[in-house]
Chain A
Amino acid sequence: NAGVTQTPKFQVLKTGQSMTLQCAQDMNHEYMSWYRQDPGMGLRLIHYSVGAGITDQGEVPNGYNVSRSTTEDFPLRLLSAAPSQTSVYFCASKKGTGANVLTFGAGSRLTVL
């Protein structure tokens, strides 16, 4: 089925460990983005990309890295996990960079102990 696939759905890490959240879309969307969702707060943009080879920081980029080597994939790397990064993470994509409908992945719940 066409859409945005995120893995893993759940992950528990210890402080200081690193990991990568995977995001893939098969809709040939140019724009891809990562958000975190915390209780009492709206979705906050971590990093985004407007095409292969192009990435930029969002509101809360510290502690996260991204790359966009292909149109389909946009992995999010946690370099040294901290308890403050405990959150639900969503990947989303849309066609072009203008006003288009955003398609979300199912989310990844990350707990950092």
Chain B
Amino acid sequence: EADIYQTPRYLVIGTGKKITLECSQTMGHDKMYWYQQDPGMELHLIHYSYGVNSTEKGDLSSESTVSRIRTEHFPLTLESARPSHTSQYLCASSRTRTSDEQFFGPGTRLTVL
């Protein structure tokens, strides 16, 4: 089992609220990722990080931001949630820049009313 955790697992929140989705891994992995997945659809990369103090935007435009102050922690923040942000958010990590296998957390299912 991969040691990657996400909280909360489910979140229902009103429009305009600021939210932070937490992701932590205890495997010492350098690379971490955030994906967005709607039901029955493919995963889309929204952010990734090579390591501490490194963050990059993915191919899907997102109004969220991320930070990587510690290796094990990669939180995602939405300053003002909107109904269009309703989706499943999956965090993942991989060992090194050349390691292809990604280990996924259980996901956060976000509903914005």
Chain A complexes with chain B: no
> Residues on A close to B: CB < 8 A?
none
